[in-house]
Structure 1
Amino acid sequence: MSQPYEVLAHNLSAQSENKIHDDTVARRFGFTGALVPGVEVYAYACHPAVRRWGRAWLERGTAECRFQSPVYDGDRVVVEAAEAGNGLALTVRHGEATCATGYAALPAAAALPDPDAWPWRAPPASRPPASEQTLARGMVLGTAPLEVTPALAADYLAAVREVDPIYAREGLVHPGQVLRLCNQALVQNVVLGPWIHVGSRVRMLAAPRVGQSLTARARVTDNTERKGHRIVELDVLVVDGAGAPVTQVLHTAIWRPRQVAG
């Protein structure tokens, strides 16, 4: 097992529309406070993979991450990485609690997906409420282009307490910042109540650079009920300003928790 990576968790979304990141609302759902977004927990978990494989992992690596128990603002979390098969088994802990588990690997280079297989639709000017119909299987969702300016990239690195110098040295966008676009594929297209990102499977296709414009193209692959929760699954392709693939993600979220459904 490599040296554990410790980081002080920070809730970047305290002012967001998703009130699961608000203390008062989160407590109504049975949590002790506002949840740190899963995309940031994923960002912490990326650190050992970059330490292990460097830029190559940012260009063609894979990762899986499942969130199991809450991470709260100010928690000191530990990311453990152990050799497993051809990759790393990842565990994010706070004290004795397992907050997330995952796996990272560096496969051989593979053919890039065809961006035309992911049509893009501009976010609507007036978003409809999230429902079984507006998030039906086959629905196409898109985000407005995000220009990752040097200031935006630097602010994100500081917010996730990233200490690896590769991002600033080589002008690269952090994978957590890319994964945030998958959340935006939901947020920019429908009006959600409190909702929870529960896991992602990520395939890096290129290392996005600071200064590029990034856009998410998504389609809904499933919308089901599990244990009272309504869960949506998205197949997302993030592309750069020229339309070249950057990252593909299978993104899963509880868009209507059972507490709301009830």
Structure 2
Amino acid sequence: MTVTQTYRVSAYNTSKLSENKIHDDTVARRFGFSGGLVPGVDVMAYMMHLPVEKWGRNFLERGLIEARFVKPVYDGETAELTAKESGGVLAIELHSRGDLCATGSASLPTTAPRVAIDDYRQVPAVAERKPVGPSSYETGKWLGTIPRDWSGTAATDYLADIRETDPIFAREGLGHPGLLQRVMNKVLVDNAILGPWIHVGSRMQLLSAAKVGDELTARAKVTGNYDKKGHRFVELDALVVANGTTPLAHCWHIAITQPREQAAA
């Protein structure tokens, strides 16, 4: 039997003023977009609403979700999400402006898989970031992040930014898993000075529920660095860790770190 869930959210570009100018209207148009892109990590956060609505805290403790971003989502536009359940798997689609913008899936494993924290090397972020180049993300290289927490008003402000209305986060003092995706972006940002760049997809196996105020870091290995259609892609395999001891999520992250510039459409 197929069961359908729906969710609508007014998209919000949280990164208009960020270092990544792909979120700036003027720069994004130079790359062929209509305006600044809503960050992929926030689009993925919209998608997480549906499995959290279905499975609650169980999903936050051991859920599996993946997302692929097909077309941009723009600030102020309505994002319409559907999730069709079949065989215990939610097939998720996000449409905006009449276009299919993101696809993905979510499921709830019986137990969270065991991931050995010692299998992921802990290294600091670079002491001094340099402009992105061939040595920034060499395949096989280990990367770390500057520790970050979202405590107090930062946690509630984040929920407002992604338009999350599920009460479970405030009621149980939990961190939204979208924050773990932000940490994955930090792997790239904390280790090189990037120009405009684009997050194109992720897969995330949750291992434990994050708590508000956790200090979050990532231990990441570069598993891919290649050119495709003029874009430079980087792939990461990482463990996001709370307070230096608790694995929260095993993540696979794909980004275009150096997009091909093109005339605006």
- Output the TM-score relative to the length of structure 1: 0.96
Does structure 1 conserve the Cα–Cα contact (< 8 Å) formed by 2:124 and 2:144? yes
1:42 to 41, 44, 65: 44
Does structure 1 conserve the Cα–Cα contact (< 8 Å) formed by 2:20 and 2:196? yes
Mapped pair 1:171 → 2:179: no
After superposition, the Cα gap between the structure-2 partners of 1:242 and 1:176, relative to the gap in structure 1 and judged at 3 Å, is same
Query: What corresponds to 1:137 in structure 2?
Result: 139
SS of the residue corresponding to residue 259 of structure 1 reads: coil
SS of the residue corresponding to residue 183 of structure 1 reads: helix
2:32 to 10, 14, 30: 30
- Identify unmatched segments of 5+ residues in structure 1: none
CA distance in 2, matches of 1:211, 1:26: 34
CA distance in 2, matches of 1:186, 1:166: 30
Query: What corresponds to 1:216 in structure 2?
Result: 218
Q: How many residues align?
A: 260
SS of the residue corresponding to residue 258 of structure 1 reads: coil
CA distance in 2, matches of 1:55, 1:2: 20
CA distance in 1, matches of 2:244, 2:218: 13
Does structure 2 conserve the Cα–Cα contact (< 8 Å) formed by 1:202 and 1:248? yes
CA distance in 2, matches of 1:3, 1:106: 16
Does structure 1 conserve the Cα–Cα contact (< 8 Å) formed by 2:6 and 2:80? yes
Does structure 2 conserve the Cα–Cα contact (< 8 Å) formed by 1:112 and 1:245? no
1:124 to 126, 130, 141: 126
Question: How far did 1:124 drift?
Answer: 1.8
Mapped pair 1:151 → 2:153: yes
Does structure 1 conserve the Cα–Cα contact (< 8 Å) formed by 2:66 and 2:204? yes
- What do you get for the CA RMSD once the two structures are aligned? 1.2
Which AA in structure 1 matches 2:198?
I
Question: How far did 1:131 drift?
Answer: 2.1
SS of the residue corresponding to residue 4 of structure 1 reads: strand
Question: How far did 1:102 drift?
Answer: 0.2
Mapped pair 1:240 → 2:233: no
CA distance in 2, matches of 1:189, 1:242: 19
Question: How far did 1:150 drift?
Answer: 2.1
Question: How far did 1:243 drift?
Answer: 1.5
Which AA in structure 1 matches 2:57?
R
SS of the residue corresponding to residue 100 of structure 1 reads: strand
Query: What corresponds to 2:91 in structure 1?
Result: 89
Does structure 2 conserve the Cα–Cα contact (< 8 Å) formed by 1:132 and 1:223? no
Structure 1 moving runs of 4+ over 3 Å: none
Which AA in structure 1 matches 2:202?
S
CA distance in 2, matches of 1:110, 1:120: 22
After superposition, the Cα gap between the structure-2 partners of 1:86 and 1:3, relative to the gap in structure 1 and judged at 3 Å, is closer
Which AA in structure 1 matches 2:223?
T
Mapped pair 1:257 → 2:259: yes
Query: What corresponds to 2:72 in structure 1?
Result: 70
Question: How far did 1:242 drift?
Answer: 3.9
CA distance in 2, matches of 1:178, 1:55: 16
- Identify unmatched segments of 5+ residues in structure 2: none
Which AA in structure 2 matches 1:45?
M
Which AA in structure 1 matches 2:178?
G
Does structure 1 conserve the Cα–Cα contact (< 8 Å) formed by 2:123 and 2:144? yes
CA distance in 2, matches of 1:124, 1:230: 21
Which AA in structure 1 matches 2:123?
R
CA distance in 1, matches of 2:38, 2:108: 27
Identity value in percent: 51
Answer with 208-217 or 32-41: which moved more. Answer: 208-217
CA distance in 2, matches of 1:72, 1:54: 28
CA distance in 2, matches of 1:10, 1:169: 24
CA distance in 2, matches of 1:111, 1:231: 28
CA distance in 2, matches of 1:2, 1:226: 36
Query: What corresponds to 1:189 in structure 2?
Result: 191
CA distance in 2, matches of 1:242, 1:194: 31
